[in-house]
Amino acid sequence: MVSHGPTSDDVDRIVEAWQRERPDLEAGPMHVISRISRLAKHHDRIREAAFAQHGLDGWEFDVLAALRRAGDPYELSPGQLAAETLVTSGTMTNRVDRLESRGLVRRRPDPRDRRGVLVQLTPAGRDVVDGALSTLLTHEHRLVSALSAKDSAALPDMLRRLLLVAADYSPQ
């Protein structure tokens, strides 16, 4: 469903003000980047609310989701989990401890490395992450329903290109 709501937003007003105050600068990129930034803040609140409905914090969902995406038997090494969730190994150890105390994951010896351990999603962990994902996707579908089918199909590629540039960009 395409929304036919307001045709301008705060970003339009901000860019217009900058163009008035600094006509020597081209403020056009703000139309895109400021909206992405604001959308990310709104999405953070949506994620937080969706996960809270299932008794999770965002970091808990991230760890459980990484295990769930790994496929059966839903296990990864702590190092793989740290890499998947972009945290340090020390942070991951603390997170696994907390999730294990809640019965959402368990540690087991790594059969390929006597010194290593694997973190495995428990059935309770699988149930909670599946429920949280379902709730989150319901909210995300509602957000993207404001786009036409054509826009919805084109936007992922456009955002991917921006993200790839941003990932390699180093401000000087």
In a domain, 125, yes or no: yes
Nearest to 133 by CA among 45, 68, 42: 68
Determine which helix (DSSP H) or strand (DSSP E) holds 116, and give its type and residue range: strand 113-121
The answer to whether 135 touches 50, Cβ cutoff 8 Å, is yes
pLDDT at site 7: 81
In a domain, 150, yes or no: no
- In terms of residue numbers, what domain contains 44? 31-145
User: Which tens digit of pLDDT belongs to each residue from 103-139?
Assistant: 999 999 999 888 999 999 999 999 999 999 999 999 9
Q: What is the mean pLDDT of residues 145-165?
A: 95
Q: How many CB atoms lie within 10 A of CB 163?
A: 11
In a domain, 128, yes or no: yes
Nearest to 93 by CA among 75, 124, 117, 67: 117
Q: Which residues on neighbouring strands pair with residue 143, listed in sequence order?
A: none
SS3 of residue 169 by DSSP: coil
The answer to whether 92 touches 86, Cβ cutoff 8 Å, is no
pLDDT at site 60: 97
In a domain, 3, yes or no: no
Q: Which residues on neighbouring strands pair with residue 118, listed in sequence order?
A: 108
In a domain, 17, yes or no: no
- 2 versus 139: which is more confidently predicted? 139
Number of structural domains (the chain) is 1
User: Which tens digit of pLDDT belongs to each residue from 82-113?
Assistant: 999 999 999 999 999 999 999 999 999 999 88
The verdict on whether omega for the bond into residue 73 sits within 30 degrees of 0, i.e. cis, is yes
Proportion of the chain above pLDDT 70, given as a percent: 97
In a domain, 49, yes or no: yes
User: Which tens digit of pLDDT belongs to each residue from 33-49?
Assistant: 999 999 999 999 999 99
The answer to whether 34 touches 11, Cβ cutoff 8 Å, is yes
**Domain CATH for 85:** 1.10.10.10
4 band by pLDDT with thresholds 50, 70 and 90: low
Computed over every residue of the chain, the mean pLDDT equals 94
